[in-house]
Structures are given as C-alpha cells and as structure tokens.
Amino acid sequence: MAFEAVIGLECHIQLRTRTKMFCECEVVFGDEPNSHVCPVCLGLPGALPRPNGGAIAMALRLGIALGCDVRRDSVFARKNYFYPDMPKNYQITQYDRPLFEHGALPVTMDGEPRSFELTRIHVEEDAGKSFHPERHGDRSLSRVEFNRAGTPLLELVTEPVLRSPAECAAFLTALRKLVRALGISDGDMEKGQLRCDANVSLRPEGASLLGVKTELKNLNTIKGVERGVEAEIERQRRALEAGERIVQATLLYDADHDKLQIMRTKEEAHDYRYLPDPDLPVLRVSEFEIAHCRETLPELPWAREARFVSQYGLPAYDAAVLCDARELADYYEACAEGLDPKFVSNWLMTEVLRILKEKQWEIARWVEQVPPARMRDFLARAQKRELPGPLAKQCIGWLADERGSVDELLQRHGVEVKGTAEALRPIVRAVIAENPGPVAEYRSGKQVTFGFLVGQVMKKSGGQAVPQLVQQLLREELG
Ligand SMILES: [Zn+2]
C-alpha cells in the first residue's frame, strides 16, 4: 500500500529585541552565565512582568506580512510545568486567545509558487538552559543558566499541510528569509534563534482521515529537519507495512548518527493546566498600530523575488539566491544599475559568495570593502571583456583585500592590461596595415584568414588581449 505523509511544523522564532519579553534585562548570547537576570526573569515572588512593546511590534510585522487575522485583545496565559530551568514553574505564553490566527507563508519550490497555511502565531518567553550531567571529581552535577530565560519568542504553528521533507526545508528556508527581511530575528538555527518541531503521521494515499502522529523535537538545522522527518516517515512506513500500530510519541532526532530516539509516549504526556496570567493585562492592538505596521513593511521576499524575475529577467534560481538575504539583494540592485543583470548575478552568486564563504564574512563586510560603485567599475570592465576571465577572477580577490581602483590594483600587481579597447585598437590597425594580403583575402570572402589576423593581434599584444574583444575590433576596423 502506498502511504502519504502529513506533516505540521511548530517553529520558534527568537526576536531580535534589546531586552527580554517581560523585564529590562538585556538579551545577550554567550555572556557570563546568570549575568543578565532579575527578579522577573528569575520568577522571584512578588515580581511583576511587563510586556516588551518592541517585541509586540516585531510580532505584528510577522503576523501582518503573513496575512494573519490579528486578534485585537489577546491574552497571556501560564503554562504550568516543573523544570529546573523554569523557576516560576510556569511559562508565560498564549493559549486560547493567541495574537494571530490563519494566514499563510508563500514558498517557491522548483520555480512553482506555493502557499502553506498557518494555524496560529503567538508570543511567549523562552526558558533558561540546563547543562547536565557534568562530572566534577567523583560527583556529577547539573548547572542552570538563566540568561536566556525570558527571551521573547514567537511560536508559529502550521496546519498539517506539508507532505514531504523537501517541503519542510523549503518552508523553513522561506520563513528564515522572511524574519531576516523584516528585521525581527537573525533566524540562525545554530544559535537557536529559529527552532523547529515536526508532527508527522502517515495515511493511505487518498485517505482523508489523519493517522496517529508523532512529534520530532529539537531539529536544529534545516538539513536536520529534512533528514529527521525523512527518517520518521520511513520508520512509520515500515511499522505500518509490518501491520504494527503507530504509538503517539515524542522523538528526538540525533543528526550525527541519523537515528531517532523515543523520549516519551502519550501516557506520560503533560497536562499544562493553562490559565490566564493574572499579572498581565489583556494585550490590545489598535487599528492605528495595525495600519502603521502595514504601511511600514518592507518589500517582502517573495514579492522581491518575483520582481527580480520580471524586472531583471533573471532565472527563478538566481532570484531566490540573491533574495536570500536582504543585504545581498540590496547590493545586487545597486550593482546591476546600467549593467547586464544576468552578468552581475553570475559574479555575485559564484565569485562573491565563494569569497564570503572562504573568508567567513557577512555580506555587510563585503559591502563595506567593495561598495557598489567600486564593484560596478570592476563589473563594467569585466563585462566589456577588458579583463580576461582568469585576470578578472584574480582582480575580484584583490578588491576584497586591498584598497584602490581596478587600474591601481592592476598596476600594483604588475599586470599590464592591453586588454582595453583603447589599448588594442592601435595594435589592430597596425596588424591590418602590415598584412595587406590576408586582409584582401578576408574582404574577398575567405573567412579562414580572419583567424590568422586574430592570431597576429594576440601575438602583438603579448597574449594578454581577450580574443572576443580582438574579434570585435577587427570586424569594426575591417568594415
Ligand atoms: Zn530579567
């Protein structure tokens, strides 16, 4: 029997606020443990939480960008559970009245526009972190770190509308792109700024009822999500084909060993005893705030990608790569001005991205070193074939490492460019003057001599001319 996978994702997005969700402590990654804490985020008795307006404004940007219904009066709730990294013994989250419902994330897959429906997005706080067990001599102990406790999070839940691991990867890639474009999160999965759980079930192809689902926790790379979901689909398919029943369970995916491990089955599931948080007022969002947010949204990644295809005539693949980060897309647009858009795209996608990877630079560092005007100067000369291919590749490396114009760089590295049209034209004219015989033959229709003339120019230029440019100049001069 053929089975169909039904997948829903739960994503946690860490907001890029300066301070925590309900107190004034700074959000910092990697500082001295427990150096950014206060009575509120430690959950000391009598401390009163106060919502972070900046976090709510960021949440609004995401909800409105995704076309969600905005609840004008949403409610913070306590989710009760006991865990050492949660000293209040409850997490402040939203339950039956979340800030957003519905909406959808547009995703382009293999050049096809798709759209994945959302159930809800709500605001909550992050927990602390436990490190355990650690060995100290003959004792083993656990440590708890609260710098992360109270960090603002958005939880985004999709409808069970995804059907394959590839769709999950595409969804997360698009979500990461969106939060970066909106400037609300860095979306770095390695740093836990974007986390994902997946609900997976199988059903006979064509069936409408849902099968028993399992939950995959802590998938912390996009590849990990893809491979974890793949492994779980495979596990369930084998069980179903062997006539077994799927047990509702929570699983951990070990990316290093490509293995699934069952953490707990349904019998041990929590009852969180949600209740509205009596310390926090109803969260009201005004029409004015919504309208203001709508007006100030930047061009959204999917709209920009579509525009790159229509305005610059780029392939969908190029548009997707260039729009992956807003800074890269901005840089592309600044560089492409007045040049061949596909030519510029090729240089950015291959050479610039390669150098960034090699140097482990952010795009901002590159833009600082090679501002658009400097890059345009280089690209214009490469496009006119004044710089032969290998030299152009060397030259872009110098641009990254050194100061100065393209000419200065060439001079500094002792490269004599006879490559420009201005430099080559006299050589072309001289070759024509020195070879009246072959020129007459060419003019009478003997194409073979053209190759001979090109060779003569190449020789005279010391082999540094670009053949295509030589051909073009010869044709011009021969009329
Ligand atoms: Zn605090």
Last residue of a domain, one of 229, 262, 289: 289
How many A from CA of 23 to the centre of ligand 1? Answer: 5
Residues 313 and 447 in one domain: no
CA 273 to ligand 1 centroid distance, Å? 25
Q: Domain boundary at 263, 289, 315, which?
A: 289
Under a CB-based contact definition with an 8 Å cutoff, are residues 303 and 178 in contact? no
**Are 25 and 104 within one domain?**
yes
Whether residues 244 and 135 fall in one domain: yes
In this structure, is residue 218 part of a structural domain? yes
Q: What is the Å distance from ligand 1's center to 217 Cα?
A: 27
Distance 34 CA to ligand 1 centre (A): 10
Task: Give the Å distance between the CA of 42 and the centre of ligand 1.
Answer: 7
Positions in the chain whose pLDDT score sits under 70: 266-270, 416-419, 463-464
Expressed in angstroms and rounded, the spacing between residue 124 Cα and the centre of ligand 1 is 15
Report the C-alpha gap between 112 and 316 in whole angstroms. Answer: 9
The pLDDT, as a whole number, for residue 259 is 86
Ligand 1 center from residue 24 Cα (angstroms): 6
The answer to whether residues 75 and 276 touch, using CB atoms and an 8 Å cutoff, is yes
Q: What are phi and psi of 334, to 5 degrees?
A: -70, -35
Is 62 part of a structural domain of the chain?
A: yes
Number of domains comprising the chain = 3
* 207-241 pLDDT tens trace: 888 888 999 987 889 999 999 999 999 999 999 99
148 CA to centre of ligand 1 in angstroms: 10
Rounded to the nearest angstrom, the distance between the alpha carbon of 280 and the centre of ligand 1 is 16
Residue 74 inside a domain? The answer is yes
Ramachandran angles phi, psi of 394, nearest 5°? -65, -45
Tokens standing for 251?
């699983």
Q: How far is the CA of 409 from the centre of ligand 1 (A)?
A: 52
Please give the C-alpha separations between residue 284 and each of 12, 57, 100, in angstroms, as whole numbers.
Answer: 23, 12, 12
CA of residue 39 to ligand 1 center, whole Å: 6
Q: How far is the CA of 92 from the centre of ligand 1 (A)?
A: 14
Question: For position 69, what pLDDT does the model report?
Answer: 97
Give the Å distance between the CA of 85 and the centre of ligand 1.
14
- Residue ending a domain, choose from 394, 412, 430: 412
Separation of CA 48 and ligand 1 centre (Å): 10
| Location of structure tokens 């650690």 | 134
- pLDDT of amino acid 470: 83
Strand bridging mode 249-254 / 214-219: parallel
Distance 31 CA to ligand 1 centre (A): 15
Residue type, 454: V
Quote the pLDDT of residue 412. Answer: 85
Amino acid in position 61: R
In the reported structure, the alpha carbon of residue 145 is separated from the centroid of ligand 1 by a whole-number distance in angstroms of 13
| C-alpha–C-alpha distance, residues 376 and 338, integer Å | 9
Tokens of residue 34, six digits? 């427990």
Q: Count CB atoms within 10 A of the CB of residue 356.
A: 17
For 117-120, the CB contacts below 8 A with 24+ separation are: 117/158, 117/159, 117/161, 118/66, 118/68, 118/156, 118/157, 118/158, 118/159, 119/8, 119/157, 119/158, 119/159, 120/156, 120/157
Tell me, yes or no, whether 401 lies in a domain.
yes
Contact 21, 122 (CB under 8 A): no
Q: Which domain holds residue 204?
A: 3-289
Q: What is the CATH number of the domain that holds 465?
A: 1.10.10.410
What local confidence, expressed as pLDDT, does residue 419 receive? 61
- Tell me the CA–centroid distance for residue 40 and ligand 1, in Å: 5
Q: Is residue 229 in some structural domain?
A: yes
Domain assignment present for residue 294? The answer is: no
Q: Tell how far the Cα of 22 is from the centroid of ligand 1, in angstroms.
A: 7
For residue 121, give the 3-state DSSP assignment.
strand
Q: Say what the pLDDT of residue 269 is.
A: 57
Are residue 232 and residue 361 in the same domain, yes or no? no
Domain presence at residue 262: yes
**Same domain, yes or no: 348 and 452:** no
Confirm whether 173 is domain-assigned: yes
Per-residue pLDDT, 418: 59
Indicate the SS3 state at residue 34: coil
How far apart (Å, rounded) are the C-alpha atoms in residues 223 and 228?
A: 8
- Burial of 54: CB neighbours in 10 Å, binned 0-12, 13-18, 19+: middle
Q: Angle 165-182/53-65 helices, nearest 10 degrees?
A: 130
Q: How far is the CA of 132 from the centre of ligand 1 (A)?
A: 24
Q: Supply the pLDDT for residue 463.
A: 66
Give the model's pLDDT for residue 131. Answer: 84
Q: Are residues 85 and 214 in the same domain?
A: yes
| Cβ contact 31:37 at 8 Å | no
How far is residue 410's CA from residue 397's CA, in Å, rounded to a whole number? 12
Rounded to the nearest whole angstrom, what is the distance from the C-alpha of residue 129 to the centroid of ligand 1? 15
Please check whether residues 269 and 327 belong to one and the same domain. no
- Token digits of residue 187: 């979306």
| Cα 146 to ligand 1 centroid, rounded to whole Å | 9
Is residue 280 located within the same domain as residue 359? no
User: Residue 86 Cα, ligand 1 centroid: separation in angstroms?
Assistant: 13
Question: Do 265 and 359 sit in the same domain of this protein?
Answer: no
Distance CA 312, CA 49 (A): 50
Instruction: Say yes or no: 354 and 439 in one domain.
Output: no
Do 56 and 185 sit in the same domain of this protein?
Answer: yes
**Sheet containing 275-276: order of strands:** 90-94, 76-80, 275-276
Domain match, 324 and 434 both: no
